[in-house]
Amino acid sequence: MGQDGRRYGRKYATVTKITLVQDNLKAHKPAALYEVFEPQRAKAILDKIEFVFTLKHGSWLNMAEIEFSVLRRQVTQYRMADRQILAHHIAFWQKERNQKQVKANWQFQTKDARIKLRKLYPTI
């Protein structure tokens, strides 16, 4: 991650704000930047980041994570010679998955949301 970290530092050096949308997984900790960067650089990056957390239950990110998990198991577990080949395999996988119209079996219903997320719904 060191090389990626240095690339990240250069790529976003001039931005004034980064909005980071993530789920509430306990593993997502700002302190992780201190493992990659020198303390001054980590602090400078953290000062630019606005953390936005999704709800603990019913997050659309969960569905995205499921798709990435399927992609990893079906495509990216194999070593690719270069990015172009990887992109080709991912595009093929995506086209096939879309043709099959694969859907997430989302169990969180509106009536459940109104109970669990009552703080977010207006009271009448």
- Tens digits of residue pLDDT in 26-71: 666 788 889 888 999 889 889 999 888 777 665 666 777 888 889 9
Based on the fold, state whether residues 111 and 64 are members of the same structural domain.
Answer: yes
Looking at residue 94, its pLDDT comes to: 93
The torsion region of residue 18 among left (phi > 0), alpha (psi -120 to 50) and beta comes to beta
Residues recorded for the chain: 124
| Domain co-membership, 45 together with 77 | no
In a domain, 71, yes or no: yes
What is the reported pTM?
Answer: 0.44
Q: Is residue 87 part of a domain?
A: yes
Same domain, 33 and 65: no
> In the predicted model, is pLDDT for residue 1 greater than 50?
no
Tens-place pLDDT, residues 73-112: 999 888 888 999 999 999 999 999 999 988 776 666 677 7
Q: What phi and psi values does residue 83 have, to the nearest 5 degrees? A: -65, -35
Q: Look up the domain containing 69 and give its range.
A: 60-119
List the one residue out of 22, 28, 17, 27 whose CA is nearest residue 50: 17
Domain boundary among 17, 32, 53: 53
